[in-house]
Structure 1
Amino acid sequence: MPDEIIDVWLQQPNELFLSQPWFEPVLRWTKAPTVAPTVSMTLDAMDQAGVRFGLLSAWYTPCGPLITNDEVADIVSAHPGRFGGIASVDLADPVRAVREIRRCVRDLGFVGVRALPWVWNLPPNDRRFYPVYVACVEEDVPFCTQVGHTGPLRPSEPGRPIPYLDEVLLDFPELVVVGGHVGYPWVNEVLSLADKYPNFHLDTSAYAVHRLPGEIVEFMRGRGRTRVLFGSNYPMLTPGTCLKRLADLGLGAEATELYLGGNARRVFSLPV
């Protein structure tokens, strides 16, 4: 196992986050804890899997923030060698959203922005996302999102890659996009976008690696070795659970290093 593992999708949840009723099926499937872990517990889970650095995500919903950017910033500030920040903003307030992205990147040192289509029940080509994309390009940080079906009790259609994300990538050729959660059941659509757009990447969060679709594994072994990043979606899954059967993928040394850390360092311009 390489000693330079970077997890690109973590949450440090609070009780408000875990109490959302639409998380019930995810908590049931993954047997994740319903009590918020401490930061020390999160670091322990990372250490057990050899994860040296993780990207912590804030969460903003139509009802307000579940995990604020400042909560994330406080944890990053307390553990600068272990965490980086991923911002989240209110899509319904575009001017404030752009200002918040600038604050998070310029003042707090965040390295990306995440907005999930299912949270807003909006496909990513909706006009309310577009100011966020412009801000990400101007601040030179990736836009992180989810592709594929929705585990929580929300509609899955906004996560379908084509035509929604396809149109975004056409409209914003400079935008770096990281699509999390693999894209099932539209895996072939996801891979077609990765083949078409050099700025589109995937992360394998929410999947134990031995459960990845075969098409994704084949992509990681070959033409997509520079395009897939490791993520866990902690605390729904721990990094250790995700990586337990990594050897089964048969990636080889170079592809394994890129998947576990090299691609994340490049895509997020990480100094670690």
Structure 2
Amino acid sequence: MFNRRTLLRRLCGSLSLALAQAKPRFSSTTETNAPTLIWDVHCHLSTAPGETPEERMTQLVKFADRLGIDRVMLSLGFPLQPDPSPQQLREENDQVLQAVRRWPSRAFGFVYLNPNHLDFSLREFDRCVRDGPMVGVKLWVARRCNAPELDPIIERAASLKAPILQHTWLKVGGNEPGESTPNDLVELAGRHPQAAIICGHAGGDWERGIRVVRATKNVSIELAGFDPTSGVVEMAVRELGAERVIFGSDAGGRSFASQLGKVMGAEIPETARKLILGENLRRMLTPILKAKGYKA
């Protein structure tokens, strides 16, 4: 007789068999047991434990070690400033510089800039990237990225092959006044086809964000921040190609584990997984790393 009790027994038996046959996915090795490079493009000091940048970075390294994450791209200091003054920008970038100098083998810095203070931001780019150790640019929510004030920043970054990580989101109730959408980013990228631009959070509403950037070849997406929903990585690979998808966590705003799970649990080829986890970002950064004498 088939009833709820027999159904439960069958389900439990099937689950036990599936668990016995399943391969562990949450590891930094592929099915061939070769180490997989994992570089996180989107990491912050803001909510990590510790009083100093060095202490906070040390805690992030401990968390990253648990999951086999080799390097993080660090931007923004603490406390977070959505529209920072020139003094606040310098303080936040100095905090990132301190953290990177403490852990040079585990982090690269992205300079935080504010287009509302354009002249200072250009000088800060020169201080931190052209003449300093940082390798990319972080833009957040001070001004929508399709504004012409961003053009000199993007041009200067592109001249040194420094990637630009731009926060994007699509909110049901409307974005903040200076918060960019993927549509804004496509407009910016169209004016600067030579620039390597990363669409932060894949627009938040990733199904829309992926489609919006699909035709703009110098825009990649990163996977940080939103919930680890099934299907996001599969759609990104299908619509953009694995070469335009980059792993990011938004740690410490989100956990490394929840964000890494999007990629490790995705039904994609292992070759695509390796590209997303680290090879794409390393390839993007190779020109500026070599110019600075870093090992890519």
So what's the TM-score if we normalise by structure 1? 0.80
How far apart, CA to CA, are the structure 1 residues paired with 2:84 and 2:211? 33
How far apart, CA to CA, are the structure 2 residues paired with 1:34 and 1:206? 22
Structure showing greater radius of gyration is 2
Q: 1:156/1:242 Cα in 2 relative to 1: closer, same or farther (>3 Å)?
A: farther
How far apart, CA to CA, are the structure 2 residues paired with 1:143 and 1:177? 5
1:205 pairs with one of 214, 224, 227: 224
- Alpha carbons 1:86, 1:112 under 8 Å: kept: yes
Q: 1:221/1:257 Cα in 2 relative to 1: closer, same or farther (>3 Å)?
A: farther
Q: 1:93/1:247 Cα in 2 relative to 1: closer, same or farther (>3 Å)?
A: closer
Structure 2 match to 1:142: 163
Q: Which is worse superposed, 99-108 or 228-237?
A: 99-108
How far apart, CA to CA, are the structure 1 residues paired with 2:113 and 2:232? 33
Structure 1 match to 2:126: 102
2:242 pairs with one of 225, 233, 236: 225
Shift of 1:191: 2.8
2:74 pairs with one of 42, 45, 56: 56
Shift of 1:97: 1.2
How far apart, CA to CA, are the structure 1 residues paired with 2:239 and 2:190? 25
Amino acid at match of 1:184: G
**2:45 corresponds to 1:4:** no
Give 1 or 2: higher strand fraction: 1
Amino acid at match of 2:56: T
More RCO (CA 8 Å, sep 6+): 1
CA RMSD across the alignment: 2.8
Q: Give 1:1-272 correspondences, 5 Å limit.
A: 1-2=28-29, 3-13=36-46, 38-58=56-76, 61-64=82-85, 65=88, 68-116=92-140, 119-120=141-142, 122-149=143-170, 155=176, 158-162=179-183, 164-185=184-205, 187-193=207-213, 195-208=214-227, 210-211=228-229, 214=231, 216-220=233-237, 223-244=240-261, 246-269=263-286, 270=289, 271-272=295-296
Q: Secondary structure at the match of 1:8?
A: strand
Give every structure 1 segment of 4 or more consecutive aligned residues whose post-TM-superposition deviation is greater than 4 Å: 32-37
- How many residues are paired up? 247
Q: Secondary structure at the match of 1:38?
A: helix
